[in-house]
Amino acid sequence: KGDSGLSEINLLKRQVSTLEGQLRALQSSFSKYKQVIMFPNGRIVGEKIFMTSGYDGNFDSLKQRCSQAGGQLASPRNAAENAAIQQIIVLYNKSVFLGINDIQTEGHFKYLNGENIGYSNWHTGEPNNQSDAEDCVEVHSSGKWNDRSCGEKRLIVCEF
Ligand code: 293
Ligand code: CA
């Protein structure tokens, strides 16, 4: 009984060690596949992935496309996330629309889930709601934000 208990433990030790090796191989393989799939249109920040398909459209169209893909329009929650979006803007030399707007209440910018924004990076003098017609948020190559008409066409960046 005592001996069979010991060999049982040794068997389990060998199995754990085999699994540890397989996990390391899987981690290294996964890490490489992440690099490949992020090139050149994706950026990883913590657990969030930002990705463009290169598509241009108005706010509703971009919102729908991200949602259809199982993500949502990019909604940066901090400077690191904003910087990742900025890199994609610079790569394409095109401004993007964020998943942020004040359609419901003028001057109260919210995420798509209705939550008030907790981070912003407005350009000096923005948001100015020019001609009382700017409820969406575009990001320029500087990374700075400007409120802009939701009907304008901008580059899509989704987050997953
Ligand atoms: C005005 C003043 C400009 C500014 C522009 C944008 C439009 O024309 O300095 O860049 O509004 O806020 O969204
Ligand atoms: Ca503006």
What pTM did the predictor assign? 0.95
Which amino acid belongs to residue 8? E
Cα of 114 vs centre of ligand 1, distance in Å, is 26
CA distance 133 to 124: 19
Considering the domain delimited by 42-159, tell me its CATH architecture: Roll (3.10)
Closest CA to 117 of 77, 147, 150, 83: 77
Atom of ligand 1 at shortest range from CA of 126: 12
Cα of 54 vs centre of ligand 1, distance in Å, is 25
CA distance 112 to 62: 12
DSSP element (H, E) containing 38: helix 2-38
Of all protein residues, the one whose alpha carbon is nearest to atom 8 of ligand 1 is: 130
CA distance 83 to 87: 6
Cα of 129 vs centre of ligand 2, distance in Å, is 5
What phi, psi does 46 have (nearest 5°)? 60, -120
Q: Which residues line ligand 1 (CB under 6 A)?
A: 126, 128, 130, 134, 146, 148
Of all protein residues, the one whose alpha carbon is nearest to atom 11 of ligand 1 is: 130
For residue 33 the two structure tokens come to 């596949």
Of all protein residues, the one whose alpha carbon is nearest to atom 13 of ligand 1 is: 148
- Per the omega criterion (within 30 degrees of 0), is the bond before 76 cis? no
Cα of 135 vs centre of ligand 1, distance in Å, is 13
CA distance 85 to 62: 15
pLDDT by residue for the chain (160 residues), tens only, comes to 567 888 999 999 999 999 999 999 999 999 999 999 999 999 999 999 999 999 999 999 999 999 999 999 999 999 999 999 999 999 999 999 999 999 999 999 999 999 999 999 999 999 999 999 999 999 999 999 999 999 999 999 999 9
Instruction: Please choose from 122, 123, 126, 136 the residue to mutate so as to test ligand 1's pocket, defined by most ligand atoms within 8 A of CB.
Output: 126
Look up the ipTM and state it: 0.97
Cα of 7 vs centre of ligand 1, distance in Å, is 76
